Amino acid sequence: MTRPDEEGFARCLAAAGPGPVGLAVSGGSDSTALMHLALAHDPGRDWRVVTVDHGLRAGSAAEAAGVGRAAAALGLGHDILCWQGWDRSGNLQDSARRARQDLIRGWAAARGIGAVCLGHTRDDQAETVLLRLARGSGVDGLSGMAESRAEPGLLWLRPLLGLRRAALRDWLRSEGIAWADDPSNDDPRFDRVRARQMLAACGDLGIDAEGLAETAARMAAAREVLGREAARLAERIAGTMAGAVTLGEALWQAPDETRWRLLAGAACFVSGNPYRPRLAALRQAEAALAAGRSHTLHGCLMVPQKGGLRIQAEPRALEGVAAAGVPGIWAGWRIDGPQMAGLTVAALGEAGLSAAPGWRESGLSWLHAQVTPGLWQDGELVAAPALLPAQWRAVPCRDRDAFIRSFLSH
């Protein structure tokens, strides 16, 4: 049996450029196929395999070790990342997904890996669209998962997104390659499992994976058009200052979809959250802003000012968010300067502003200045490098151009 279509790998690797590429492999059929097909497509590439063991069921550690043996048999290095952060509350699958991404981000950054491939298939795309349809998603949600998605420092790739799971399993069987089935994939407590079951039952109505995936493709094309319009408006009215985004009063005359896109995009840009706030939350924010009130959304504080508004990090969202050592990255800021033992980067907050009486010279408001970085040692403020001259320098990682570009890349 011939190998499944390789066009997805060709496009994804062109986007990744040279250098090592990660492969996220759980041991299931899709990611197992990903590992074997990646090596077959580009045997000279520096492939690195990573498995996240969520530790939520018996046998997960053995399955992760099995991936390691399979990778070693192919001559590939392998790392296992363990998650122990679930507190048994909230949405398990969503928490596990976010934790998996965070762990892989850290793994890639530590190894100089700029791109990671995921094993999502056309079936996953259809299930995603069905779930988002049930939640009342708009164009962006119904466009499903993108074949490539860039975020600061990492490119997520899905080279199998055009392939069906059944075709991958047929190929694995023909090659004598085994995989492990995760029993949670048949657990009806999870939304995605119910979506998979519903999709199987809707075939008689003509609702199938192919049709839903085509809908996602059309919505993605529409999203590009809407994104270009939002970028044009952002070019006219947007600015960035000390980690915040400002939008001019022309925002309020823009069509609903464009206005919502800028508000949501600004919230994602400032907070670092790649997932848009829901429309209902955006409408609540608009109502508060129209009444002249500040409003919290998506880890951000939206503050009316001079006909427009400022979108900055919410002070409470940064409580407890700290990074050890300099140079380094903290909450969207790059901190450079000499190393000092015991130095920690955290928000200035009210305590930091009290310890830096000259902060008003920066021209920032009290609320805005609070969410800029402070350098702390043993609980004492050493410097406020974004506000006052110091031997350290704090620079936002993302600027106005990056904000405008965010509407053109997904």
The pLDDT score that the predictor gives to residue 87 is 55
In a domain, 2, yes or no: no
Segments forming the whole domain that contains residue 342: 319-396
Residues 56-81: what's their mean pLDDT?
A: 90
Angle of helix 29-41 relative to helix 60-73, nearest 10 degrees, comes to 20
Which string of b and e fits 301-314 if b means at least 16 CB within 10 Å?
bbbbeeebbbbbbb
In this structure, the answer to whether residues 35 and 70 fall within a common structural domain is yes
Final residue in a domain of this structure, among 189, 209, 229: 209
In this structure, the answer to whether residues 251 and 304 fall within a common structural domain is yes
Among 5-9, 18-22, 227-231, 292-296, the minimum mean pLDDT is found in 5-9
Average pLDDT of the chain is 90
Domains identified in the chain, total number: 3
Instruction: For residue range 86-107, list pLDDT tens digits in order.
Output: 555 555 666 777 788 889 998 9
The pLDDT score that the predictor gives to residue 361 is 93
In a domain, 410, yes or no: no
Residues 189-209: what's their mean pLDDT?
A: 70
CATH of the domain at 257: 1.20.59.20
In this structure, the answer to whether residues 195 and 239 fall within a common structural domain is no
In this structure, the answer to whether residues 101 and 134 fall within a common structural domain is yes
Q: Tell the burial category of 108 from Cβ atoms under 10 Å away from its Cβ (0-12, 13-18, 19+).
A: buried
Q: Among residues of the chain, what percentage have pLDDT more than 90?
A: 68
Final residue in a domain of this structure, among 179, 209, 239: 209
Q: Which residue has the tokens 């979506």?
A: 195
The pLDDT score that the predictor gives to residue 201 is 63
In a domain, 155, yes or no: yes
Q: Among residues of the chain, what percentage have pLDDT more than 70?
A: 90
Instruction: For residue range 109-128, list pLDDT tens digits in order.
Output: 899 999 999 999 999 998 88
Cα–Cα distance measured from residue 333 to residue 91, given in angstroms and rounded to the nearest whole number: 30
In this structure, the answer to whether residues 124 and 182 fall within a common structural domain is yes
Bridge-based pairing state of the strands 148-151 and 115-117: unpaired
Question: Which whole-number Å values give the CA distances from 212 to 7, 39, 118, 139, 160, in the listed order?
Answer: 21, 30, 20, 13, 16
Strand 393-396's sheet: what is its strand order?
328-330, 333-336, 393-396
Final residue in a domain of this structure, among 209, 240, 267: 209
In this structure, the answer to whether residues 169 and 25 fall within a common structural domain is yes
User: Number of C-alpha atoms within 13 angstroms, CB side, residue 5?
Assistant: 13
Q: Which residue has the tokens 């508004």?
A: 309
CATH of the domain at 48: 3.40.50.620
Q: How many CB atoms lie within 10 A of CB 205?
A: 8
The pLDDT score that the predictor gives to residue 231 is 97
Strand 148-151's sheet: what is its strand order?
77-82, 47-53, 21-24, 115-117, 154-157, 148-151
**pLDDT value at 212 more than 70:** yes
In a domain, 367, yes or no: yes
Residues 319-329: what's their mean pLDDT?
A: 90
In this structure, the answer to whether residues 33 and 128 fall within a common structural domain is yes
